[in-house]
């Protein structure tokens, strides 16, 4: 079977792998569409220290069930369109013991610590398979990154009285925009340039701030009548945006951190104390977050066509990744078509 592999920095190749068959408790998936995400781009660039050598990338999945091993529940059927929860949980670490397996200390994500789904077929435990009803396989590949944004809004305990600032309007950030808007909050989207901000507005942002031309702090204070944001979601992962999040959140506000900064971040820690901030990490997503995204997509209110920058065949994946690296602000989501 055909698969995409990253053998070295800025290299990508299509390889042939042996066919797979489901063992007991496993589901055989025929991949239809798999999305490239920011972690795949970092792996391609050589900047993802967590990625295994020569990894097969891909954890944003739209697939069809091709076969079932013994012991799978009868709710899963051949021909169903599904997506996948791509994380693992050890069951014994502090996170798992506390009922938060999405933050498992020993998590291994498909396409990062484990070979991923950029291939024609894959076998996975049935517990990781999520049926998506009438949602297409193409659109199912968008569910996982949106669910990560949904989880951040859950971590921020967002309500309909909140002003929520989302810094970074990639797929994860847009998931946060949509979920905060769905909860009735007034959403302020922040990004560099107008292209992603236009999509954020379609996704439900009431206000958009171009941080390349506007004073973000001044605009947030203007919008919030001087109070600052109730919740800030940091979905970029840079020292500048982390400092910005603490600066623009209001007193007793919540800062939710999704992005990983590769460099150390220097804070004025007095703001943590003076504002009595709640600073919360947000990692991966829960089954509830996946279900919430699916429900929203079923309503037809997600601008999926705007989310997809391009669809390529496996043989063209290298060129697509090179174009993304050359102009990261111009590319939103690339899907690889295995149909």
The yes-or-no verdict on residue 332 having pLDDT over 90 is no
Would you state the pLDDT for residue 193?
A: 82
Which of 31, 33, 19, 16 is CA-nearest to residue 66? Answer: 31
The yes-or-no verdict on residue 115 having pLDDT over 90 is yes
- Residues 65/82, Cβ–Cβ less than 8 Å: yes
Separation CA 221–CA 227 (nearest Å):
6
Would you state the pLDDT for residue 133?
A: 96
User: In what helix (H) or strand (E) does residue 286 lie, and over which residues does it extend?
Assistant: none
Q: pLDDT band for 315, please (50, 70, 90 cuts).
A: very high
The yes-or-no verdict on residue 329 having pLDDT over 80 is no
Separation CA 153–CA 181 (nearest Å):
10
For 62-83, what is the mean pLDDT? 98
- Residues 40/4, Cβ–Cβ less than 8 Å: no
What are phi and psi for residue 113, nearest 5 degrees?
Answer: -75, -20
Of residues 25 and 50, more confidence is placed in 25
Tell me the per-residue pLDDT of 149-206, one tens digit each, with 9 for 90 and over: 999 999 999 999 999 999 999 999 999 999 999 999 999 999 998 889 999 999 999 9
Q: Mutual orientation of helices 216-223 and 239-248 as an angle, nearest 10°?
A: 30
The yes-or-no verdict on residue 330 having pLDDT over 80 is no
**How much of the chain, in percent, has pLDDT values that exceed 70?**
100
CA 84 to chain centre: 13
Beta bridge partners of 62: 33
CA dihedral 252→262→306→84, nearest 10 degrees, is -90
In this structure, of 113-117, 178-182, 276-280, 303-307, the range with the lowest mean pLDDT score is 303-307
Buried b (16+ CB within 10 A) or exposed e, 210-224: bbeeeebeebbbebb
What 3-state class would DSSP assign to 61?
A: strand
The yes-or-no verdict on residue 78 having pLDDT over 90 is yes
Mean pLDDT of the chain: 96
Would you state the pLDDT for residue 56?
A: 98
User: In what helix (H) or strand (E) does residue 137 lie, and over which residues does it extend?
Assistant: helix 137-140
The yes-or-no verdict on residue 316 having pLDDT over 80 is yes
Q: pLDDT band for 107, please (50, 70, 90 cuts).
A: very high
The yes-or-no verdict on residue 77 having pLDDT over 80 is yes
Residue 264 DSSP class: -
pTM of the model as a whole: 0.95
The yes-or-no verdict on residue 126 having pLDDT over 80 is yes
Would you state the pLDDT for residue 49?
A: 85
Would you state the pLDDT for residue 61?
A: 98
Q: Mutual orientation of helices 194-203 and 171-182 as an angle, nearest 10°?
A: 30
Q: Tell me the torsion sign for CA atoms 151, 152, 158, 164.
A: negative
Tell me the per-residue pLDDT of 236-289, one tens digit each, with 9 for 90 and over: 999 999 999 999 999 999 999 999 888 899 988 999 999 999 999 999 999 999
Q: pLDDT band for 327, please (50, 70, 90 cuts).
A: confident
Separation CA 328–CA 81 (nearest Å):
30
Q: pLDDT band for 307, please (50, 70, 90 cuts).
A: very high
The yes-or-no verdict on residue 142 having pLDDT over 80 is yes
The yes-or-no verdict on residue 216 having pLDDT over 80 is yes
The yes-or-no verdict on residue 117 having pLDDT over 90 is yes
């Amino acid at each position: 079977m055909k698969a995409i592999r990253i053998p070295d920095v800025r290299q990508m190749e299509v390889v042939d792998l042996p066919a797979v068959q489901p063992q007991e408790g496993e589901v055989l998936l025929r991949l239809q569409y798999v999305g490239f995400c920011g972690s795949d781009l970092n792996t391609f660039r050589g900047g993802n220290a967590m990625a295994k050598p020569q990894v097969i990338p891909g954890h944003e999945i739209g697939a069809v069930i091709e076969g079932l091993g013994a012991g799978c529940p009868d709710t899963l059927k051949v021909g169903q369109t599904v997506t996948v929860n791509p994380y693992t949980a050890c069951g014994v670490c502090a996170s798992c013991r506390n009922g938060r397996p999405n933050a498992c200390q020993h998590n291994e994500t498909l396409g990062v610590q484990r070979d991923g789904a950029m291939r024609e077929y894959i076998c996975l435990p049935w517990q990781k398979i999520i049926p998506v009803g009438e949602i297409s396989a193409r659109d199912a590949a968008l569910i996982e990154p949106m669910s990560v944004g949904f989880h951040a809004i859950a971590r921020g305990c967002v309500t309909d009285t909140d002003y929520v600032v989302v810094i970074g309007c990639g797929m994860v950030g847009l998931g946060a925009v949509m979920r905060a808007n769905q909860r009735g909050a007034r959403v302020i989207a922040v990004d560099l340039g107008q292209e992603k901000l236009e999509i954020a507005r379609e996704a439900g942002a009431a206000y958009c701030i171009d941080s390349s031309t506007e004073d973000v702090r001044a605009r947030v204070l203007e919008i919030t009548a001087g109070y600052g944001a109730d919740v800030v979601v940091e979905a970029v992962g840079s020292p500048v945006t982390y400092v910005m999040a603490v600066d623009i959140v209001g007193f007793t506000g919540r800062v939710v951190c999704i992005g990983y900064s590769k460099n150390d971040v220097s804070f004025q820690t007095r703001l943590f104390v003076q504002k009595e901030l709640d600073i919360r990490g947000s990692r991966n997503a829960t089954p509830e977050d996946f279900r919430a995204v699916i429900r929203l997509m079923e309503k037809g209110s997600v601008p999926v066509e705007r989310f997809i920058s391009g669809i390529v065949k496996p043989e063209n994946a290298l060129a697509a990744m090179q174009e993304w690296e050359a102009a990261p602000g111009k590319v939103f989501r690339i899907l690889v078509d295995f149909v």
